[in-house]
Amino acid sequence: MSGTASTRTIREALFPGRPGGAMPASGGVSDERAVQRILERHGRMASQIIAVLQDLQALRQYLPEADLRLISRELDVPLTRLYAIATFYKAFRLVPRGRHEISLCTGTACHVRGAMRVKDAIERELKIAAGGTTSDMRFSFETVRCLGCCGQAPVMMIDGELLSRLDHLTVGKALEKYK
Amino acid sequence: MKPADVPEIVAKTIKKGEIVERLLYLDPSTGKRVELENEVPYYRRQMRLILGNNSRIDPADIRDYIALDGYEALRRVLESGKPRSVIETIKKSGLRGRGGGGFPAGIKWETARGAKGRKRFVICNADEGDPGAFMDRSICEGNPHSVIEGIVIGAYAVGAHEGFIYVRNEYPLAVEALTIALEQARECGLLGGDILGSGFSFDISISRGGGAFVCGESTALMASLEGRPGEPRAKYIHTVEKGLWEQPTVLNNVETWANVPKIILGGAAWYTGIGTGDVSDDPWGGSKGTKIFSLVGKVANTGLVEVPMGTTLREIVFDIGGGVPKGKKFKAVQTGGPSGGCLPESLLDLPVDFDALTDAGSMMGSGGMIVMDEDTCMVDVARYFIDFLKDESCGKCLPCREGLRALLDILDRIVAGRGKRGDIALLEEISEGIAATSLCALGGSAPNPVLTTIRYFRDEYEAHINRKKCPAGVCKPLLRFRVVPERCTGCRACFKACPAACIAGKAKEIHAIDETKCIRCGACFDACRFEAIAR
């Protein structure tokens, strides 16, 4: 296996749809400094990678390639291991998200109380499948397993705000106020 | 209660000490107003040992917890200076792990204390991944010190100086409450060096999970704490001997830890007075104390319910939960999380404890209890859980990774109306294989939802496979929506609700559904107030 081929495969897996050419600019010094601060906060320890990636995602809403490469260099951890962690844990994303993030709970209580119909209704409304982002970057829509608000099922979270006792007949209206 | 009611409450209740009759809880079973909280049926039958203080304390103020005997158990333990007697007490109490396994905590602690290692660790599992369960979240958010006190006592008993709380990333409030509580405990000298002048040093740090169900499994959780993907390992050597960083490690979940101070204060004899069985010789001989259940789904009163072990499902679902709402018929209650089982009406008098649930083919799990009514399709439920578990399988061992995929393929076929004769037997055969040969408990218990639904609701599988019908009206490919002309009033409610614009009909005329355009979303069925849509 040649070095270039394996690099390309990893890149394609990491960043689907992006041509495997030269690396894009890392986004300026100030960005790098923010990542360095995160690394400092966690003692630059490889055992703290998950916490580092969580903070990075909180900062950027996703895990940009340039930042992952920086972390890989700084902590001396192969990029493949970061990829393994970023894809194993559901919390991490490798592509940018829309302005508003919808997380529809499909936990058991929500499921038996009609979450799948709410999902269908949202998919119809936004014309995207769960896991997708609208082309105008207005919404990203995903399903999650249990937000722990089972008493108010079915529920979803939009930008951290909880909407409870959803109804597939009216959920489309609830999305209107998010521009 | 609404903001508009506040002036009346202030004027009457706060100023004059009078009761505002119209705002009192109305007991639906008797039709009478109830004055006191503990007279409400939902609370009256509960025994809130662990949850009780949630409503009495401010989780962000350690003084509230201390005022209610908080950290008194720790003080006593440290003052006695006998870690072994703590282990003895916990062993005698019969406390079993609330996270799902039901392993006797005292034995775990004793083994860890006796195991060889450079250091010992204690971990609190707050990675409450079971969909439909939120008791640990509630304890962490509402009474974080009870968990912390339990952990410190456990650490002292086993001789650990470092502890971790592994919290779900989806629970930001729990992380916040625990972080504040840890800081305050440190300020008060209840954590850190030389705790309460005893010479014992111990501290706890918080780790946030990354949203992986399998990380509730002990070895996977420890891998995650070490900064790796959370894949379990084979447990030829238990984690109490070689766990985190290969050192002896005690892992208990939130609810288990929160029980510890209560046991120290009340004594093992008091604790064994609550619950089932006899644990005087055998710690596996019964289930002691209370258990918190997250009672959700198709039940009138949803919420957290804490009852003594041995309370029957009927008492929980009907007496406390108020039964199934809207006059629907009870069908099943699902316990034990995604890899638990669905128990039918005939088992409602089952006393709920670790062993009775396992015997019935389900399990205690962490205490999720999801009530299902006649509108719930049991094949769809089985498919739902297998889909969940397939997603959450870490993929390390073949039986779990491929077996669950095979189960899902068959279930997908059945709910799509393409089930074949022999599918049920095939499901059972694959299930046995997965259960027998998977590496960890996720795979080991994963077939439970399939096996219990086949065991108790075989007729529903047969209806899907043989008659291509979904009796509960859930599985979309098997549904045909149509208007019942005799009932249709021509109100246009279905017309307005239909997102596919496939309902024809003018006002006051009987409507009709264009079957070729129907997307089977059920909007018309739910919108109709005259039961004029059949499926």
Work out the minimum CA distance from A32 to partner chain B, whole angstroms: 22
Tokens of A131: 């896991």
**Higher model confidence: residue B489 or residue A27?**
B489
Instruction: Give me the helix-helix angle, B398-415 and B448-466, nearest 10°.
Output: 30
Chain A partners of B390 at a C-beta cutoff of 8 Å? none
- Cβ distance B296 to A109 less than 8 Å, yes or no, reads yes
B227 touches chain A (CB under 8 A): yes
Q: Please state, in angstroms and rounded to a whole number, the distance separating the CA atoms of residues A74 and A70.
A: 6
Model pLDDT, residue B223: 95
Residue of A nearest to B127 (CA): A148
Domain ranges of chain B: 3-35, 52-284, 378-466, 480-534
B294 touches chain A (CB under 8 A): yes
Size of interface A-B (CB pairs under 8 A): 133
- Domains of chain A are 3-88 (no CATH), 100-174 (3.40.30.10)
Q: What is the mean pLDDT of chain B?
A: 93
DSSP letter at B274 equals S
Closest CA to B179 of B141, B209, B215: B141
Burial class (CB in 10 A: 0-12, 13-18, 19+), A65: middle
- Cβ distance B210 to A54 less than 8 Å, yes or no, reads yes
Over residues B264-269, the mean pLDDT reads 96
Bridge partners, A144 (sequence order): A105
- Cβ distance A88 to B368 less than 8 Å, yes or no, reads no
Model pLDDT, residue B266: 97
Residue B288 has pLDDT above 60, yes or no: yes
Tokens of B481: 């929506």
Model pLDDT, residue A28: 40
Q: Residues B390, B154: contact at Cβ < 8 Å?
A: no
- Residue B322: strand, helix, or coil: coil
B368 touches chain A (CB under 8 A): yes
Categorize the per-residue pLDDT at B44 as very low, low, confident or very high, splitting at 50, 70 and 90: confident
Model pLDDT, residue B89: 97
Chain A partners of B522 at a C-beta cutoff of 8 Å? 117, 168
- How many helices and strands (H and E) does chain B possess? 22, 17
Tokens of B519: 């997307």
pLDDT 10s digits, B143-161:
999 999 999 999 999 999 9
Closest CA to B380 of B404, B408, B405, B360: B408
Considering chain B, what percentage of its residues have pLDDT values greater than 70?
A: 100
Over residues B331-359, the mean pLDDT reads 93
Q: Residues B332, B341: contact at Cβ < 8 Å?
A: no
Of A49, A90, A107, Cβ closest to residue B212: A90
What class, spelled out in words, does domain B378-466 have in CATH? mainly alpha
- Cβ distance A50 to B210 less than 8 Å, yes or no, reads yes
Model pLDDT, residue B27: 79
Tokens of B154: 């456990």
Q: What is the mean pLDDT of each run of 10 residues along chain A (179 residues)?
A: 43 48 41 92 91 92 93 94 92 90 90 91 93 92 87 90 90 89
Burial class (CB in 10 A: 0-12, 13-18, 19+), B159: middle
Per DSSP, which regions of B330-473 are E strands?
A: 330-335, 341-344, 368-373
What sections of chain A are H helices per DSSP?
3-14, 29-41, 49-60, 65-75, 79-88, 108-112, 115-126, 171-174
Residue B35 has pLDDT above 90, yes or no: no
Categorize the per-residue pLDDT at B37 as very low, low, confident or very high, splitting at 50, 70 and 90: confident
Q: How far is CA B321 from the centre of its chain?
A: 15
- Residue B517: strand, helix, or coil: coil
Residue of B nearest to A153 (CA): B297
Q: Residues B285, B278: contact at Cβ < 8 Å?
A: yes
B216 touches chain A (CB under 8 A): no
Work out the minimum CA distance from B176 to partner chain A, whole angstroms: 15
Task: Show which of residues 43-62 on chain A sit within 8 Å of chain B, judged by CB atoms.
Answer: 45-51, 53-54
Of A92, A108, A110, Cβ closest to residue B210: A92
Q: Please state, in angstroms and rounded to a whole number, the distance separating the CA atoms of residues B376 and A112.
A: 6
- Cβ distance B521 to A108 less than 8 Å, yes or no, reads no
Angle at B403 between CA B401 and CA B404, to 5 degrees: 75
Q: Which helix (H) or strand (E) holds B66?
A: helix B62-67
Q: Residues B427, B450: contact at Cβ < 8 Å?
A: yes
Chain B partners of A112 at a C-beta cutoff of 8 Å? 297-298, 370, 372, 376, 381
- Residue B125: strand, helix, or coil: strand
B492: left (phi over 0), alpha (psi -120 to 50) or beta: left
Of A47, A144, A151, Cβ closest to residue B303: A151
Q: Return phi, psi of residue B275, to 5°.
A: 110, -160
Work out the minimum CA distance from A152 to partner chain B, whole angstroms: 8
Neighbour tally for B361: CB within 10 Å: 20
A119 touches chain B (CB under 8 A): no
What class, spelled out in words, does domain B52-284 have in CATH? alpha beta
Closest CA to B178 of B141, B137, B211: B141
What class, spelled out in words, does domain B480-534 have in CATH? alpha beta
Model pLDDT, residue B170: 81
Model pLDDT, residue B25: 86
Peptide bond into B172 cis (omega under 30): no
- Cβ distance B522 to A113 less than 8 Å, yes or no, reads no
Model pLDDT, residue B337: 87
Chain A partners of B128 at a C-beta cutoff of 8 Å? 148
Chain B partners of A51 at a C-beta cutoff of 8 Å? 207-208
Tokens 């409602």 sit on residue: B348
Chain A partners of B134 at a C-beta cutoff of 8 Å? 146, 148-151
pLDDT 10s digits, B66-82:
999 999 999 999 999 99
- Cβ distance A168 to B521 less than 8 Å, yes or no, reads yes
Does the ipTM surpass 0.90?
no
pLDDT 10s digits, B428-454:
999 999 999 999 999 999 999 999 999
Residue of B nearest to A106 (CA): B131
A130 touches chain B (CB under 8 A): no
